[in-house]
Amino acid sequence: MRSNIRSSRNSGRISAALVLSYVFDWAIIIVSAGIGVLFSIQTPNKRPFSLSNPEISYPYVHKEKISTAVLAVCALAIPAAVIFLICILLVPGPTVSKSIPRALIWRRKLWEWHTGWLGLCLSLAAAFLLTNGMKNLFGKPRPDLLSRCMPDIANAEKYRLGGYLGTDVVSAAICTNTDKSIMDDGFRSYPSGHSSFSAAGLIYLSLFICSKLAITMPYLAPSFYSQDESRYSAFPSRRPKDDTPSSSLSGEVVEPSNHNDAIIAARNQAAAPPVYLLVFAVVPFFASIYIASTRYSDFRHHGFDILFGYIIGTVTAIFAFRYYHLPISQGAGWSWGPRSRDRSFWAGVGVGTYAGTKPPKALKKAEEADLEAGKGAKRPLVNDTPTEATPAVSPHEA
């Protein structure tokens, strides 16, 4: 009976609770982006400024090098398309044997595609929400504010709020420009939205490409990682048994030498990837730097505003990538597997993970009955993590 329970618990069927769990993830991301949009149309705090401040005296450039529409294409549409193509064409990779059913292969492709887009949207939504919220709170004037403002110089004293030794500070009411959108935008310099959004999307894409193409600094894994190469395969429970000895993850057989065998074995654990692959990974990163730089040359942001916005986007990109993907140097290009059906919304105190299954009630009752009958010590409950004995389709092979 216990074996039947284990089989039913690990059958890999997709439950409604699991689907709703990820639908809820998408809903939160969409709502967060919607709140960011609401922030972007609200009137920001308008910080008083000095008419003699050269830092806000630059000309107003009507045609930006990177418009908002182009930014959306570069930071959202292009990364989404590249992620889709990589997942469809390259996943699950060369570790898959010919005996793997095509349905299971496509299931893995779709899962990697889903987590790739989920992480991308989480990164962008978080950066968009944080940036627009901060813009309204701080209300910092842009470098081209005076050109937008067209101040009423003749009545400047009327709008004077204070100052010292000729550094008079005036309120935003001194502006004669009646275009509300232009004026509101003139007080949204900090932090830079183009910088944060481009970094959030394009740095995430760079991380995704590095993960899928194994582009990383050569990494020496702990010994227990190098014992079994099947740990890195797409479907470890379906790997054929191979007793051929090897001393490296690539399967290369290392001949004995008169040198320290431990060092020889270590140097065969990893190698530097080809430089041409590195180009694919750094192009999105360099593109994000260019987009951020245009905000300075277009007189839209001060230097610190651009730098801080870029930091926001970088942080959200790294966080979102690691939230849904294994570390680049250790994860062999895979995302984390799906949550357990039993832990789709809640794991509970003391569990520590959203993978695995809860002990079935029937098995719990059987264990309790054994204890009451004095048949021996309590047997271990169902394992918390999938094992090599997991039949058919394990949730972590989705």
Q: What is the pLDDT of residue 119?
A: 97
Mean pLDDT confidence for 105-121? 95
Q: Indicate whether 213 belongs to any domain.
A: yes
Q: In total, how many domains does the chain have?
A: 1
At 332, list the tokens.
């062999």
pLDDT of residue 123: 98
Which three-class secondary structure state does DSSP give residue 119? helix
Determine the pLDDT at residue 237: 65
Express as a percent the part of the chain with pLDDT over 70: 74
Tokens read off for 227: 């014992």
* Token digits of residue 190: 């900090």
Per the structure, the complete domain to which residue 217 belongs is given by: 2-45+54-148+179-222+278-342
Cα separation, 374 vs 376, whole angstroms: 5
Is 314 inside any structural domain? yes
114 domain residue, yes or no: yes
Rg (CA), the chain: 28
At 314-365, the pLDDT tens digits run 999 999 999 999 999 888 899 999 988 888 888 888 888 888 776 656 556 6
Q: Is-above-0.75 flag for pTM?
A: yes
Which DSSP state fits 247? S
Average of per-residue pLDDT across 282-308? 97
Q: In what order do the strands lie in the sheet with 160-162?
A: 49-50, 169-170, 160-162
* CA trace torsion 310, 314, 317, 321 (10° rounding): 170
Q: 241 lies in a domain? A: no
Q: What is the DSSP string of 32-52?
A: HHHHHHHHHTSPPP---EETT
87 vs 212: CA distance, rounded Å: 9
- Partners of 162 in the beta sheet? 169
> Contact, 292 vs 310, CB < 8 A?
yes
| Closest-CA residue to 234 (of 90, 383, 80, 83) | 90
In a domain? residue 95: yes
Residue 257 falls inside a structural domain:
no
Domain presence at residue 364: no
Phi, psi torsion values for 247, nearest 5 degrees: -120, 15
Nearest to 145 by CA among 14, 286, 48: 48
330 falls within a domain: yes
**Both structure tokens of 329:** 């140097």
